[in-house]
């Protein structure tokens, strides 16, 4: 009997080009989706941190009211809200002077003691809008909330609480559409 000759055939250049093209197209879609997910993660993380700080402020307000310490409550106005947390976020850099703020990496929180503001530097700037010039950021401050009461026909204003207030309007753009 004769020998069987097995022929081994490799990819042609055309087949290889098609496979590489398909993989490239899939990689582009996957990376685009991954980037959009990163934007969503940053937005959710920032929103979560703000919510946690607002809760901490509310607990402090309640504590000062229960103790009747209105002077202590007033001292929280303009203070660093991160100091009210039992555990600060890993991306909180602490109190940063103006001279060092240019070196801060995006995606970080820091407290500006001169302006008494908490600042978040946005990493995904293409999907964030603010009226602020320069680096994309959001600024927050512990501000007083005043209420009025009518007593003996006279309206008087009193400190009824504190809030973590955004100093300028901002909004996250939807990366999905």
* CA triple 61-54-92, angle to 5 deg: 120
Strands (E), the chain: 92-95, 109-112, 117-121, 128-130, 137-151, 154-166, 170-172
Mean pLDDT of the region 49-59: 97
What is the pTM (predicted TM-score) of this model? Answer: 0.83
pLDDT digits (tens, 9 = 90+) for 114-132: 999 999 999 999 999 999 9
Domain ranges of the chain: 14-172
pLDDT range class, residue 16, cuts 50, 70, 90 = confident
Question: What is the C-alpha to C-alpha distance for residues 89 and 104, in angstroms, rounded to an integer?
Answer: 16
Residue 22 CB burial class (10 angstroms; 0-12, 13-18, ≥19)? exposed
Mean pLDDT of the region 150-172: 93
Q: Can you tell me whether residue 157 is helix, strand or coil? A: strand
- Say yes or no to pLDDT of 72 above 60: yes
Question: What is the C-alpha to C-alpha distance for residues 114 and 96, in angstroms, rounded to an integer?
Answer: 9
Question: What is the C-alpha to C-alpha distance for residues 166 and 83, in angstroms, rounded to an integer?
Answer: 18
Which pLDDT score, from 0 to 100, does residue 1 have? 57
> For residues 74 and 159, is the Cβ–Cβ distance under 8 A?
yes
Mean pLDDT of the region 48-67: 96
């Amino acid at each position: 009997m004769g020998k069987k000759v097995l022929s081994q055939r490799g990819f042609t250049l055309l087949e290889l080009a098609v496979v590489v093209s398909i993989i490239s197209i899939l990689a582009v879609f996957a990376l685009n989706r991954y980037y959009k997910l990163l934007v969503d993660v940053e937005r959710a993380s920032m929103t979560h941190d703000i919510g946690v700080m607002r809760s901490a402020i509310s607990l402090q307000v309640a504590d000062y009211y229960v103790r009747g310490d209105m002077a202590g409550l007033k001292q929280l106005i303009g203070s660093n809200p991160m100091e009210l947390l039992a555990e600060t976020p890993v991306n909180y850099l602490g109190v940063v002077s103006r001279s060092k703020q240019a070196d801060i990496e995006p995606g970080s929180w820091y407290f500006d003691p001169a302006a008494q503001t908490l600042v978040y530097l946005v990493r995904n700037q293409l999907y964030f809008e603010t009226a602020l010039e320069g680096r994309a950021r959001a600024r927050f401050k512990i501000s007083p909330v005043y209420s009025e009461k009518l007593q003996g026909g006279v309206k008087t204003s009193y400190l009824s609480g504190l809030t973590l207030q955004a100093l300028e309007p901002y909004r996250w753009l939807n990366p999905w559409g």
